[in-house]
Each structure stands twice: as structure tokens, then as C-alpha cells.
């Protein structure tokens, strides 16, 4: 039976997705670019959830509240695309 796993590959995938969507709008290019691993702690939290189930946007908000005290209400993002990308990052064994 296949099971879901949380591994470094999933964390890397989720980190890349979070960088792409840049929910905190910190920027990853230019002179004052954020480091590549800026969203790694948040990615680890989401990867842990993804190891047991699919996530929804409410899960992303919960993680952002934990790390940034930000409920993401001001962020203009395609929520469906973000959630689909995150759920697509899940690994199976």
C-alpha cells in the first residue's frame, strides 16, 4: 500500500511553490532579495500536513498566522492555483 511521506524533496517543492507565490511579498530578486530558504520553516509545516492529507487555503493561512501573524487577507493570490500546486507536491511511496 502506498503511503505519503514528508521528505526533503517535498519540503524543497513546497519551498519553491511558496517562493513563486511569495505570499509575504518579500521579493527574491534584486539587491535586497530574500534568501532562497526564506520560506523553509513554513514549507516544513505545510509538508508535514501534506504528508497525511491534502491542504486547503485555510491551512496556508494557519501557517502564515503562526510564522508571520498575517491572515493573508491583503494578499492578491490565485488561491486555487496555490492549493493545487501544494497538493501536487505530495510524494507517494
Cα–Cα distance, 54 to 48 (Å, whole number) = 10
- Residues of the domain holding 65: 4-92
Cα–Cα distance, 39 to 32 (Å, whole number) = 16
- Our count of domains for the chain comes to 1
What are the φ/ψ torsions at residue 83 (nearest 5 degrees)?
-65, -40
Q: Which residue has the cell 524533496?
A: 9
Instruction: Tell me what pLDDT residue 5 has.
Output: 53
Identify the bridge partners of residue 92 per DSSP, sorted by sequence position.
Answer: 4
Q: Could you say which DSSP state residue 39 is in?
A: T
Q: Mean pLDDT, consecutive 10-residue segments, the chain of 93 residues?
A: 65 95 87 88 96 96 95 93 95 60
Amino acid at each position: 500500500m502506498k503511503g505519503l511521506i514528508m521528505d526533503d524533496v517535498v519540503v524543497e517543492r513546497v519551498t519553491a511553490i511558496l517562493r513563486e507565490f511569495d505570499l509575504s511579498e518579500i521579493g527574491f530578486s534584486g539587491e535586497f532579495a530574500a534568501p532562497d530558504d526564506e520560506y523553509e520553516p513554513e514549507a516544513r509545516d505545510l509538508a508535514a500536513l501534506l504528508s497525511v492529507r491534502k491542504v486547503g487555503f485555510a491551512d496556508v493561512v494557519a501557517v502564515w498566522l503562526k510564522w508571520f501573524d498575517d491572515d493573508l487577507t491583503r494578499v492578491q493570490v490565485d488561491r486555487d492555483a496555490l492549493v493545487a500546486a501544494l497538493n501536487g507536491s505530495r510524494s507517494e511511496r
